[in-house]
Amino acid sequence: MYTDLQVETYILKTPVYDLADIEKDPYAYFIHLNHDQMEVTALLSEQFHNPLNRNVDIEGAIYISYKGREVSPLTYWDEVDSLWAYYLNMIEEYLENGNAESYFPDQPIPIIMKKATNSNILFSVNNVEILVNERFFLSTLINKAEEFFNLLSSFNQNDNYENELSQIRAILSKLG
């Protein structure tokens, strides 16, 4: 049951000029965070070490699917570092209130987390819903966010992502 959940981070590697192109072949535009380490390293190094780029916003996508149902496809890309931060804030709100709502950083794409039963969460992106085990889903999101922010921290010596990593540790302690 649990292996049916996919949560993966992708980095945009080339500009998108026509949305139809990305819908036809999204993998031509994205690099999976863990599959091509050399290309990811080169791309992120260039972004973080560009003197003209003081505030780095990493364009990318968080792909989420459950049992083959794509909830957040690659065509929903945005500032992936901000999107991961939004997910962290939503998880905190969800743990406190039993529900949380937000939008993608630069797009009107709604994200909803809602307590469904004692052990399940209803999660939706742009009105595509999944019902999944709460603990497993939240743990997976947190672990993937931690993986992402640890990678970004390795490129940036200014501790720009320490807030997110501290937030992750706090959430993990709440989850137990």
For residue 82, give its domain range: 2-175
Amino acid at 110: P
Q: For 43-89, what is each residue's pLDDT tens digit? A: 777 766 655 555 567 899 999 999 999 999 999 999 999 999 999 99
Amino acid at 52: L
The DSSP letter of residue 95 is H
Q: For 81-111, what is each residue's pLDDT tens digit? A: 999 999 999 999 999 999 999 999 999 999 9
* Cα distance between residue 87 and residue 63, in whole Å: 13
Helices (runs of H) and strands (runs of E) counted in the chain: 5, 9
pTM, two decimals, is 0.90
The count of structural domains within the chain is: 1
